[in-house]
A = this chain, B = another copy of it.
Amino acid sequence: MMDIEVEHQLPVEKISATLAQNDRGEFRRVFLELHFYDQARLLIQLDEQQRGKVYRYLSAKELGDMFDELEVNEGNAIAYLKEMNPHQGAMVLSEMYTDNTVDMLSDATSSDLATYLNLLPSGEKNEVRKLLNYEDKTAGALMTTEYVAVSIDDSVGTAMQVIRRLARDAEIIYYVYVQDDAENLIGVVTLRELLSNDKRAMVREIMNPNVYSVFVDDDQADVAQTVREYNFLAMPVVNRAGHLLGIITVDDIIDVIDEESTEDYSGLAGVNVDDLEESPIMAAVHRLPWLITLLILGMSTATLINHFEGLVSEASILAVFISLITGTAGNAGTQSLAVAVRKISVENDRKMIQLIRNEVITGLLIGVVTAIVITVIVGIWKNNFVLGAVIGISMVAAIIVANLAGSLIPILMDKIGVDPAVASGPFISTLSDLTSVMIYFSIARIFLNYLI
């Protein structure tokens, strides 16, 4: 039985020992038993000199398998590739799955990119060049070209032969795509179905002609949604003419889902939670621009209160409730924002208007209940129900406006093409501070005589 804790421990010391003793055989014996992902994790714990030996002790294919995992899981895999001479580096790149090769090269400087491309075998070079041209976060940028395809005229037996031949190199062999003579994607058959049928049966009889596919320029979030709904292990990618160009496997979809949810989450908080290893200095540098921007927006609220300073000096009791109103409205607005951003990613236009309408109505209901509660509390506490009513009315109005902002702003941003996740929680709550104060003091001024 394998304890999951034990399995995750890497034999770092043992490997270091084999490297120190220049024992190529023993190193290979221990290292190649590890899962590729663990090989990658171990590599980054070695120093540069040790890694140099690792590059010499492993074949290009073995390094390629490891670098596949390095690229997917580490941000800066190309730095490790550059520790080898360019010829070896290019060989390793050609042994990797093409989607990972492309990801690694898209992080390279233009001169490094040119160097490696020139050293790749020409077939690979063209494939990589094509994939590099796809826009980030589209199906084309995610796909790989190592898939299994058969002709519609093939038999099950022929298909099985193709699979056996490609078993080591294809990224996935469990879905077999069916093409006609013009290389159009016209069907799919699973390995499961092939195994359930006699060798002499024809692919065209057992294939599923209603094959789901995505266009090469489809947004990655839409691709992820389809995989999620239909539980596919891979999606074929076609161009507008229907030619099969590549496939996206479910593990890459999981990475997309993680990326999209991290973006939503980051947007709500106004901070990028992706880089978990950054130092406090880098964290401060990253967060400051947005915070200073919000500070300046907050200054307009200060300017507004300043405009009403006379009012406050006459009825200083008003200062007591500033943060209560701004805070409650801010909380409500953040809730509306969170719901709106989540809905935008899955719904269409007509529903957006309904969303705004619903959020405003929700704000009204919440506001009325909150207003009644606060009117009673303040009225009893300060023995002044006019004051209570002022706070209560301000509360209702502030909450409705905050909910409106929280739902409308991300929708508008989505319309003009900006990622709605950028309309962060802090922005909405700082904006609602401004509107809440404006409402509060305007109402208070009307009833000033009852508040002094």
Contacts and interface: CB of A to CB of B under 8 A. Distances in A.
Interface of A: 1-2, 4, 7, 33-35, 37, 72-73, 160, 163-164, 167-168, 173-174, 184-185, 191-193, 195-196, 210-215, 218, 222, 226-231, 233, 238, 241-242, 250-251, 253-255, 257-258, 261-262, 264-266, 268-271, 273, 276, 279-281, 283-284, 287-288, 291-292, 294-295, 298-299, 301-302, 305-306, 309, 312-313, 316-324, 326-328, 330-332, 334-335, 337-339, 342-343, 346-347, 358-359, 361-362, 365-366, 369-370, 373-374, 377, 425-426, 429-430, 433, 437
Contact of A269 (B163, B250, B328, B337): B337
B301 A1 contact: no
Contacts of A366: 284, 287-288, 291
A295 B430 contact: no
B271 A339 contact: yes
Contacts of A323: 298, 301-302, 305, 322-323, 326, 433, 437
Contacts of A218: 4
A393 to B, nearest CB: 15
A35 B135 CA distance: 30
A383 to B, nearest CB: 13
Given A4-B215, A195-B163, A365 B273 contact: no
Q: Return the 7 tightest CB-CB contacts between A and B, nearest first.
A: A1-B242, A269-B338, A313-B316, A284-B365, A261-B261, A280-B361, A331-B426
Nearest to A251: B231
Interface of A is mostly: helix
Given A287-B362, A328-B295, A312 B301 contact: no
A37 B225 CA distance: 13
A305 B319 contact: yes
A359 B276 CA distance: 12
A295 B370 contact: yes
B331 A288 contact: no
Nearest to A265: B265
Given A210-B2, A288-B366, A294 B7 contact: no
A218 B271 CA distance: 31
B280 A358 contact: yes
A306 B284 CA distance: 34
Copy number in the complex reads 2
A320 B302 contact: yes
21 contacts: A1-B238, A1-B241, A167-B192, A167-B193, A168-B196, A268-B338, A269-B337, A271-B338, A273-B339, A276-B346, A283-B358, A284-B369, A298-B324, A301-B324, A312-B316, A313-B313, A322-B323, A327-B433, A334-B425, A335-B426, A425-B425
A228 B4 CA distance: 15
Interface-centre pick from A212, A269, A339 (highest chain B CB count, 10 A): A269
Nearest to A311: B316
Contacts of A255: 228
Contacts of A335: 269-271, 287, 291, 426
A365 B280 contact: yes
B212 A291 contact: no
A4 B265 contact: no
Contacts of A279: 358
